[in-house]
Chains A and B, each alone.
Chain A
Amino acid sequence: MQIYGSWGKLLSVDLSAGKTSEERIHPITYRMFVGGRGLATYILWRELGKKWGSVDPLGPENMLTILTGPLTGYYPGIKLVVSGKSPQSGGVVGSAISSHVAYSIKTAGYDGIIVRGASRDPVYIYVRDDLVEIRDASKLWGLKGLELTKSLRSELGRDAPSLYIGPAGENLVRTAAVMARWFHAAGYGGYGAVMGSKKLKAIVVEGSGPLPPVARRDEFLKLRYEVIDKVAARSTFRVWGTTSGLWRVGHDTSSEPIRNWVEEWHNREEFSHVAIEKKYWIKNPWADWGCPLACMKVSKAVVDGVTYYTDGPDYEMGAYLGSNLGLFEVDKVIALSALADDLGLCGIQTGNTMGFAVELYERGLITREDVGYELKWGDFYCLKRLMEDIAYRRGFGGVLAEGTYRAAVEVAKRRNLPSEEVLKYAVQVKGIGVGAHGIRSRKDYPQPIAYAASVQGGDHTSVAGLPADSEESEISSAFLDSAVVCSFTSVEEETVLKFLNAVTGWGVTKEELYRTIGLRILSLQRILLLLGGPDVRWDPRVHDDNPLRFYEPLPSGPYTNSVVSRDEVLNSIAEYYKQLGWDSYGIPTEETLRKLGLYDAVDVVKTLRRELGVS
């Protein structure tokens, strides 16, 4: 069977056995799961589904998947999707990252890389077309991002596309990211720790062949220019990138995390894209491979004689390593963002945990005795120290390195409190810190059920919403992450679908996307999330909910007192599940599973129902 847009072939690396091989994926599998997030979910389900609950995300039995999609390399903008069993949620998170490795994998002749097992000693994977080697990385182990990039370059004699981890991943920090190109991170899911658990420091891929053939070349070229022209016209976004969110979200829509989400509004002009551009940007625009949009900007700041570089800070970094920590001095936010990049930490997840820690300190739930020093809002020095302690698991940093949810449970235990007493300050959903877009003002894009009903918890790039068969639904993100399209260069769904069909020759309709393909991916992700384990198990009756903070009325700004109610949230979730063909607990019904061709899930779901006591 001829396949277009993909090769139908993955590179499989077994680090325990030190062996590499090729793995065929049937064209029908692509048609059913598309690629990227969808394909990852399928592979994880097929291989680990039966024993999911007992698989330790940081053990050798977990897999790390690095997958492209059929649109990788063709659609303007570039991403790949990192996945595996998540050490944060216990489910599957599709974690997208811009990286040259994406097109390089394809030009090397593969659609992705699957890493199984674990090495005893530090290694890195080197791929140059047909040549695949597992190489010694003992000299690279311990290096931070900037040093590592240089060392790899001198070891290889040239610049080669790579994915890597920093010290945080090596130290199995659950908020560690898989990094690329200095400032790029696949943060959600915690896959930096999965790489670390496999003693895998980096994956270098140099591909020199062509991309796989496309089905309808002329139509593809026409659509490509249509998309390029549309995307290139987004001039505001090109000029300001996401940094403008620091004003748009923080001031206008009032939905930016401020001091662990106590507030969501600010009016500090110095904390806006306009002020930041003037003072800190040294290069604008800056783009990823093949991208007509260029949302990135290189910023530079000197703090105490040390020079820091980062991208932006883009909105999420500025919000989570700035306002969420009560820090509004931009030079210091740039420094924290650069530090997170260098240590290989997800700035969102780590900033979420740090803000949580400062609030606990303020409330006396943790003290100087626990931490070793004082924690204060906006105090760069203690925040920097805290971030480093997390990356190296030093002292109390070891507790916070487990991420907000697990740290909350541990603090409660140490204080002899019921865990709810600490969890009420944890702004996370199912182990994943909520992205920097609040729901209380109702002026930002996420709906009140965005996180509570998401299969990727607090992930702001994969939000649930009504109606379930529209771009508001999480199916839409699942689709973009499976075709693998950057969400900033994506255009209206109809055109992306046409694009997909021109490349693959499939003929997927909107109906098929929402009723079959997307729903299939989402349903499997939901089942794996509820199977969870080994240390977390989510109960839909308890955990399909917002962090408690989101039920407090907004205390300041233009939408003061605006609030969402739990009743409203629970009702909308019920409606959303119903529209998806899931039962009231969000478990796909037997009928839905059969319709989607997921016959082997039927029994698993029966067991799941029994275990939850809802059969």
Chain B
Amino acid sequence: MWPSASRITIYEYYPGAPIPHYCIQCPDYPCVSACPTKALSVDQLTGAVLVDPSLCTLCLKCVEACPGKVPKTTRGKSHVLICDLCFGDPACVRECSRVGYNALKTVKKPSNTGIKHYAKPPELVAEEFGRKIYM
């Protein structure tokens, strides 16, 4: 098990207000366009961003381009980590439902571009969410 290599990260800036942070598959995929080595591509079936470990140089241009600063790096991995939707069967969702929290669900990708608003750095989400429950 390797917690920091997980492609979903939970931040908690306020007690009881955890923020799951992961790739939301932007309709325009700014990370893919930003990558100078073409290490990133879009899975035609799931819409997930796929990383080619052999091409990634860890230049972090994708992180810069990502509205949520999602792509992760960790010790011992020579490439960025981005959620690949487990090729259609998300393990995180399975685990979350198994324990009965049901905080994560698989949904159909909405067609509008509004979805991009969900890609936010965790600090910002925390501020909004925290304000809601703590004020």
Contact surface of A with B, Cβ cutoff 8 Å: 73-74, 103, 107, 129, 153, 159, 181-183, 207-211, 225, 228-229, 232, 235, 238, 282-283, 285-286, 292, 294, 296-298, 300, 309, 311
Q: Are A210 and B1 touching (Cβ within 8 A)?
A: yes
B114 CB–A CB distance under 8 Å? no
Stretch at the interface among B13-21, B25-33, B49-57, B105-113: B13-21
CB<8 Å pairs between A and B, sample of 23: A73-B1, A74-B1, A107-B2, A129-B75, A153-B13, A159-B12, A183-B15, A208-B4, A210-B2, A210-B76, A211-B2, A211-B3, A228-B99, A229-B98, A232-B98, A232-B99, A235-B100, A238-B100, A282-B134, A283-B16, A283-B17, A283-B133, A309-B134
In the complex, which residue of chain A has the Cβ closest to the Cβ of B12? A159
Question: Which residue, of B3, B16, B17, B133, has the highest number of chain A Cβ atoms within 10 A?
Answer: B16
Task: Please report the C-alpha to C-alpha distance between residue A208 and residue B81 in the assembled complex, in whole angstroms.
Answer: 13
Task: Please report the C-alpha to C-alpha distance between residue A298 and residue B129 in the assembled complex, in whole angstroms.
Answer: 15
Contact surface of B with A, Cβ cutoff 8 Å: 1-5, 11-13, 15-17, 74-76, 98-101, 133-134
Q: Are A107 and B133 touching (Cβ within 8 A)?
A: no
Residues of B within 8 A of A208 (CB): 4, 74-76
Q: Are B75 and A311 touching (Cβ within 8 A)?
A: no
Q: Are A292 and B4 touching (Cβ within 8 A)?
A: no
Where chain B touches its partner, the secondary structure class is loop
Q: Are A182 and B1 touching (Cβ within 8 A)?
A: no
Q: A228-B98, A292-B99, A294-B101 are in contact. Are A286 and B1 (CB under 8 A)?
A: no
In the complex, which residue of chain A has the Cβ closest to the Cβ of B77? A208
Q: Are A282 and B133 touching (Cβ within 8 A)?
A: yes
Q: Are A181 and B1 touching (Cβ within 8 A)?
A: no
Partner of B5, one of A210, A232, A285: A210
How far apart are A394's CB and chain B's nearest CB, in angstroms?
Answer: 29
In the complex, which residue of chain A has the Cβ closest to the Cβ of B76? A209
Q: Are B4 and A209 touching (Cβ within 8 A)?
A: yes
Partner of A286, one of B15, B74, B98, B134: B15
In the complex, which residue of chain A has the Cβ closest to the Cβ of B13? A159
Partner of A211, one of B1, B13, B101, B134: B1
Residues of A within 8 A of B133 (CB): 282-283
Q: Are B4 and A286 touching (Cβ within 8 A)?
A: no
Q: A182-B15, A282-B16, A309-B15 are in contact. Are A107 and B99 (CB under 8 A)?
A: no
Q: Which 7 residue pairs spanning A and B have beta carbons closest together?
A: A283-B16, A298-B16, A210-B2, A292-B99, A208-B4, A208-B75, A232-B99
Residues of A within 8 A of B11 (CB): 159
Residues of B within 8 A of A238 (CB): 100
How far apart are A442's CB and chain B's nearest CB, in angstroms?
Answer: 35
How far apart are A99's CB and chain B's nearest CB, in angstroms?
Answer: 12
Task: Please report the C-alpha to C-alpha distance between residue A182 and residue B14 in the assembled complex, in whole angstroms.
Answer: 9
Residues of B within 8 A of A210 (CB): 1-2, 5, 76
Task: Please report the C-alpha to C-alpha distance between residue A311 and residue B16 in the assembled complex, in whole angstroms.
Answer: 9
Residues of B within 8 A of A107 (CB): 2-4
Task: Please report the C-alpha to C-alpha distance between residue A471 and residue B119 in the assembled complex, in whole angstroms.
Answer: 49
Residues of B within 8 A of A292 (CB): 99
Task: Please report the C-alpha to C-alpha distance between residue A286 and residue B15 in the assembled complex, in whole angstroms.
Answer: 8
Residues of A within 8 A of B16 (CB): 282-283, 286, 296-298
